Amino acid sequence: MVDNILSVKGIKKSFGGVHALKGVDLTIKKGETHCLAGENGCGKSTIIKVISGFYKADAGEIEIDGQKMQNITPADAIKAGIQVIYQDFSIFPNLTVMENLAFNQVLSEKKKIANKRAFRRIAQEAIKKINFDVDLDAIVETLPVADKQLIAISRALLDNAKLIIMDEPTTALTKKEVNRLFEIIENLKANGVTILFVSHKLDEVFEISDSITILRNGENVVSCPAKEMTEEKFAYYMTGRNFDTQEAINKCELGEVVLEAKGLCAPGFEDVSFQLREGEVLGVTGQLGSGRTELSLALFGLLKPTSGQIIVEGKEVKLSSVSAAQKLGIALVPEDRLTEGLFLPQSIKKNITVTRMDDVANKFGLLSSKKITEESQKWVDEIGVATKDHNLPVQTLSGGNQQKVVLARWLANKPKVLILNGPTVGVDIGAKYDIHKLLRELANSGMAIIVVSDDAAEVIATCDRVIVMLKGRVTGQLDGEDLNITTLSNAAI
């Protein structure tokens, strides 16, 4: 009997002159959850696409369930029991759940006439495999992200999947939804299905994984049982850097109240009150739908309050627009940097200086290329944006460096209050550490900061005090010894 469901040896893959994979090995035992980790650009996506037949390897061997596979195609991979669930789930948003689930099987049988009764039978069989309760007639685009993911998993099981590869499966899920997904993974394992879990989130990796493989720069760094890995080792293997995660935070004395909300209400939340002082990092946490994002929008003039007060430096203000908030020294790093925070085709330097047009103009009011370059270089150096040329499009940067560009743009305006919604969503562990360290440094310099996040570890690492929200209302405030994973989780449920 073969112990390994998958064994790849010496896989190489280049694109032009770029060596994406430099002889990668990956062995996955049957019935385990194996984590594949690494920073953006390490080769995770490339090796997945080689295994699934999307890319043809330049060199190396692939063996699935004891069978050597030559010139593997996507059809070969599926036939051999390999299923990949990508971050977009590869489902049809305009079709029903039933149609999405039955589509592949009907297509493979080359039937020319659609039989709705057969569609429903296939779909019911699919959702039964994971005890998934869903309306089969619902249009997929109307469903939450977690349900879309379960549709993709159900569909994979219809094709008799032996190995399901999940690519960053928890990116858009709440903690409850992540727990539900992990329950399903454990049930799949109990039924003989192996999972390759692609992630860089430490807490999830250690919770769900039996073994771990880490790649860096297209090469293997380590492969071992999860019980032999520590968070410190994981961070080092991922980045090649040693992080002092227990680094003492030398807090400055808190100053005057900069921002205050009194009984603030807006679509999505009600009756929120708090004070924010100079040098303080205030956390706002809660699950999706808790009202945390809406609160950040209201504080930046993007959502009109229906009642209550916003007070800046002792004076009640009306934040009727973004420009009004900016004039009062309020800045917002948005939740989705790709659609709300960056001009992706534009250069790094233009993205950094776009809110400083008056300051980078010459005496005739024309933009000065020299001033733009000098201002951009200052922030590239200060924030630590990893780029050889800030004339390159910002879309060429990794997620962490893109987030640093958004931060640089707002810091260049010297805000009094900096609001960050999901400050490290989708960034690597190294960039996450850098951003957290930067926030602590900014607070120590006297800046008032609000961190809006559902990442409990992030909130604990960066915040002095935390407001917990649930269904649009504040359910608790935590600080000091009360600010820990257990109390945060309990308060947010």
The sheet carrying 281-285 orders its strands as 330-333, 417-421, 448-452, 281-285, 465-470, 473-479
Dump the DSSP string for 243-280: --TT----PPPP-SEEEEEEEEEETTEEEEEEEEETT-
One domain for residues 225 and 282: no
Closest residue by Cα to residue 101 from 90, 88, 86: 90
One domain for residues 447 and 344: yes
One domain for residues 338 and 228: no
Question: Which pLDDT value is given to residue 463?
Answer: 93
One domain for residues 65 and 175: yes
Whether residue 480 lies inside any domain: the answer is yes
Question: Which pLDDT value is given to residue 448?
Answer: 96
Whether this model's pTM surpasses 0.85: no
Closest residue by Cα to residue 259 from 295, 215, 206: 295
Distance from C-alpha of 340 to C-alpha of 132, rounded to nearest angstrom? 34
Distance from C-alpha of 196 to C-alpha of 210, rounded to nearest angstrom? 10
Cβ 447 vs Cβ 280: under 8 Å: no
One domain for residues 197 and 299: no
Please give the helix or strand (H or E) that residue 9 lies within, else none.
Answer: strand 4-15
Name the amino acid, one letter, at 64: I
CATH number at residue 9: 3.40.50.300
**Per-position pLDDT tens, the chain of length 493:** 679 999 999 999 999 888 999 999 999 999 999 999 988 778 999 999 999 999 999 999 999 999 999 889 998 999 999 999 987 778 899 999 999 998 877 666 666 666 788 889 989 998 998 989 999 999 999 988 889 989 999 988 888 899 999 988 887 677 778 888 999 999 999 999 999 999 877 888 899 999 999 999 999 999 999 999 998 899 899 888 887 655 545 566 889 999 999 999 999 999 999 999 999 999 999 887 899 999 999 999 999 999 999 999 999 999 989 999 999 999 999 877 766 778 888 888 888 888 777 677 776 667 788 888 888 888 888 888 888 888 888 888 877 888 888 888 888 888 999 999 989 887 878 888 889 999 999 999 999 999 999 888 889 889 999 999 999 999 989 888 888 877 877 776 5
Distance from C-alpha of 409 to C-alpha of 284, rounded to nearest angstrom? 23
Whether residue 82 lies inside any domain: the answer is yes
One domain for residues 299 and 212: no
Question: Which pLDDT value is given to residue 248?
Answer: 46
Helix (H, G, I), strand (E, B) or coil at 307: strand
Contacts of 74 (CB under 8 A, 6+ apart): 52, 53, 54
One domain for residues 453 and 321: yes
Going by the DSSP 8-state scheme, the letter that residue 337 receives in this structure is I
Please give the helix or strand (H or E) that residue 59 lies within, else none.
Answer: strand 59-64
Please give the helix or strand (H or E) that residue 126 lies within, else none.
Answer: helix 116-128
- Domain containing 436: what range? 257-492
Distance from C-alpha of 35 to C-alpha of 170, rounded to nearest angstrom? 13
One domain for residues 266 and 190: no
Which pair of structure tokens corresponds to residue 394?
């910002």
One domain for residues 225 and 264: no
Total domains in the chain come to 2
Question: Considering 239, 267, 296, which residue would you say is the last residue of a domain?
Answer: 239
Please give the helix or strand (H or E) that residue 239 lies within, else none.
Answer: helix 231-239
Question: Considering 239, 272, 305, which residue would you say is the last residue of a domain?
Answer: 239
Distance from C-alpha of 320 to C-alpha of 203, rounded to nearest angstrom? 40
Whether residue 203 lies inside any domain: the answer is yes
Question: Considering 239, 268, 289, which residue would you say is the last residue of a domain?
Answer: 239
One domain for residues 358 and 399: yes
Residue 88, sorted as left (phi over 0), alpha (psi -120 to 50) or beta, turns out to be alpha
